[in-house]
Amino acid sequence: MTEDERELITRLVAVPCTKFAGQCISKQEFLERFRDGKILTNELLAEAIESKIADDLECALIVGFSFGFTKESMGLLLQLLQEGWHFKHEDVVSALADLKAPEAVEALYKVTHWVPSYLEFDDARALAVKAIWALGAIADPRAQAFLMALSTDQNIIIQQNALKQLSMRAGRFT
């Protein structure tokens, strides 16, 4: 990805206190310069995985959150969830949560017990909490089973969030 492409993608979101503040671009203007946003998302995710450039992943995720992720994004997002070269695991979990795909259930469960080194300071366990909430949104019996298991976890934050999701699911998926 070129620096010009990164700048254009960054202009899709309001970024105060940067050189792009006040220079936002509309989605329509963006698509006039690029192509279909969902196809572009998958292409940029694949390029970021290949290049292992964290800024490129950030741009791919901006495009994805702006135009949407697709089922074709699933494998790429699941791969990114396991990669250690970037700092966007929470955003990847959020993208998987948007998809509500049963294929992501096991990976989301694993993330509840994994703390990347860059998040070791986070006593609130934000990555695990996001993964639990993503599990809560997936209508799949395995998601329910994982939430049940997490509801007895030794970590009180994990336990409480799993119990909250089980409570919220009771009316939706029963």
What single string gives the DSSP state of each residue in 77-113? HHHHHH-SS-S-HHHHHHHHHHHT-GGGHHHHHHHTT
Report whether pLDDT(117) > 90.
Answer: no
Percentage of the residues of the chain whose pLDDT score is greater than 90? 74
Task: Give the Cα separation of 2 and 105 in Å (integer).
Answer: 35
Domain containing residue 74: 1-84
Cα 38 to Cα 84, 88, 100, 149, distances in angstroms? 25, 19, 17, 35
The reply to whether 77 and 106 lie within a common domain is no
Q: Are 95 and 58 in contact (CB under 8 A)?
A: no
Token output for 152:
């007895």
Residue 111 pLDDT level (bands cut at 50, 70, 90): very high
On whether residue 90 sits in a domain, the answer given is no
- Total structural domains within the chain: 2
Is the per-residue pLDDT at 160 higher than 90?
A: yes
Q: Which two tokens stand for residue 27?
A: 């989605």
pLDDT band at 16 (very low <50, low <70, confident <90, very high): low
Report yes or no on 9 lying in a domain: yes
Is the residue at 95 inside a domain? no
11, 25, 56 from 14: Cα distances, Å: 7, 9, 18
Q: Is residue 34 part of a domain?
A: yes
Q: How confident is the model at residue 74 (pLDDT cuts 50, 70, 90)?
A: very high
45 is a domain residue = yes
- 1 and 26 assigned to the same domain: yes
Supply the mean pLDDT for the chain. 92
Instruction: Give CA torsion, residues 67, 80, 117, 124, to 10 deg.
Output: 50
Q: Is 50:18 a contact under the CB 8 Å cutoff?
A: no
Is 94 part of a structural domain of the chain?
no
Q: 73 with 127, same domain?
A: no
Contacts of residue 100, defined as CB under 8 A and 6 or more positions apart, other chains included, come to: 137, 138, 139
**154 and 77 inside one domain:** no
Predicted TM-score (pTM) above 0.75: yes
Q: Could you tell me the pLDDT band of residue 174, with boundaries at 50, 70 and 90?
A: low
